[in-house]
Structure 1
């Protein structure tokens, strides 16, 4: 690989003069600068990005760390991040897997947005202690170098359960997310509290899920096996709710009549299933944009960086009244 030493040797100048010319420093005359740049072009010189980063102590690259890319949820979230970063002169790199975690301590990134259960709280606090700037979307951490931009999971789960109770359901299920998921734990806690407030006549069960269609299908089969009358089901995300719709298709049990489903995330497909699905709505794009905005404020030392909460609302479904117990 061609280095600035090679350019200096060919141009007959010092290494520092080459460095000044390549960086546009006015210490070098226009004539000398043109000669050096011509030699650099002739030798196909490519600047060493790592060395430049070390000198400037910035890359203008932000990392988004995700546990997975699967499902319909991530596209708009990442697009919101990208749009906000590009407006402010930053680029986005998407990272997944434990090996990618080394990008933080190696200084490849100016900061990171975390939606990755593979990061432990201790690991993130260690990075923050070393001066790395972080925005977390999936946990609550207190540190001067960490900002939380969190979805209002508790409000959303409360809306979902109250909606089912308000429409006459006394037998309720919740299909959970993966173990250790912050969103699942927040939603599940609020669902339990809402059921407790609903009174002693309500029965409530939880079915383990994994935020994917397959676990929604499995939950539907269990509900069918236990069916003795109309039920309300809160799937803690839309992917599982769609899986439940698919599993019930072709059975005697109809969504919106025997089994009433509420999801969470309002992914695009929920507007097209029949009957229309009830779901908890928010803007994934805005969530990503706010996360990017707050992180760049942290990176640039803007004292207005602050914790943010992304608010949610209920989109009602069709045929929400419970069917009679007999079929």
Structure 2
């Protein structure tokens, strides 16, 4: 098996010189660099993720960072990213949590797509640069090397609530996601604005903090059922929590929507089977668009204006016409 020592021997240089070339360091002469890279190609020696880009000195690899395996929409995003990446002769690394940061440098990857609330803005601002563009999917950032591709949460949530009100519902509960996330903030703001526009009062005691997972929706619904009066409708900031709430109501003999209506947001794989009224986000396209913008920025076609993805409302049985 070919190794770095064999490359050094054929090139007539030291092992450290070969290592410097493979790590894209600038302390090797151009003629020597070209000779080493040519030998690497001839012997099909690609020691790391930068393999296919050795000749140009660029890795031709992008990184996708996410953190939550419990949410099925990630797979659709990954499929979209993967299809665009493969069509453009790039490689893809998928990485989670803190382990990502060590791969976010231009000797290993050409740029990153970030969908992880745990990845702090300070870290992204420090890493992003002319030679390392970043696309973020979960926040809007003002940085000349970071492009934001985000869901338009406000308008579809507002329209969803207006549609529910138009169907006869007048009292509401809300199950939110992590309160620091941009998605949750926008969805909750739209919810409150729609109620206010219809002169419907909302009491803070009817707000339940969740974490976008099914269990938190189940727990919120159980707490809600301890009160003397149920709201007409429980609005959930995502589908997983809505499905958890529906299961809790069912387990306790309540009927959806006859006893209480439920709405979600995402249109996850189970939403249709559960008859859940929700907002559908085109997640495959979301990943595809993010990969397209990242690779264009890697290639020098700089575009960092925020791109907002539109979503559509799907009314199903869980929030049908209210009948007194």
Computing the radius of gyration from Cα coordinates, the structure with the larger value is 1
Correspondences of 1:280-291 after superposition (within 5 Å): 280-291=279-290
Q: Report SS of the residue matched to 2:258.
A: coil
Q: Report SS of the residue matched to 1:3.
A: helix
Give the aligned partner of residue 21 of structure 2: none
Instruction: Give ranges in structure 1 of 5+ residues lacking alignment.
Output: 25-36
Give the aligned partner of residue 142 of structure 1: 142
Q: CA separation in 1, counterparts of 2:176 and 2:8?
A: 61
Q: Deviations over 1:56-90 (max 9, x none)?
A: 34111111111222221211011011111111111
Q: CA separation in 2, counterparts of 1:226 and 1:220?
A: 10
Q: CA separation in 2, counterparts of 1:86 and 1:96?
A: 21
Structure 2 residue 78 is matched with structure 1 residue 69 = no
Give the aligned partner of residue 132 of structure 2: 132
Give the aligned partner of residue 156 of structure 1: 156
Deviating more after overlay: 97-106 vs 87-96? 97-106
CA contact (8 A) 2:212 2:241 kept: yes
CA contact (8 A) 2:11 2:39 kept: no
Give the aligned partner of residue 300 of structure 1: 299
Q: CA separation in 1, counterparts of 2:302 and 2:271?
A: 40
Correspondences of 1:158-307 after superposition (within 5 Å): 158-200=158-200, 205-229=206-230, 231-273=232-274, 276-303=275-302, 306-307=305-306
Instruction: Give ranges in structure 2 of 5+ residues lacking alignment.
Output: 13-30
Q: Report SS of the residue matched to 1:268.
A: coil
Give the aligned partner of residue 118 of structure 1: 118
Q: CA separation in 1, counterparts of 2:58 and 2:200?
A: 59
Out of 1, 7, 27, the residue aligned to residue 10 of structure 2 is 7
Q: What displacement does 1:164 show?
A: 2.0
Q: Report SS of the residue matched to 2:225.
A: helix
Q: TM-score with structure 2 length normalisation?
A: 0.84
Equivalenced residue count is: 300
C-alpha change, 1:23 and 1:165, in structure 2 (3 Å) is same
CA contact (8 A) 2:144 2:304 kept: no
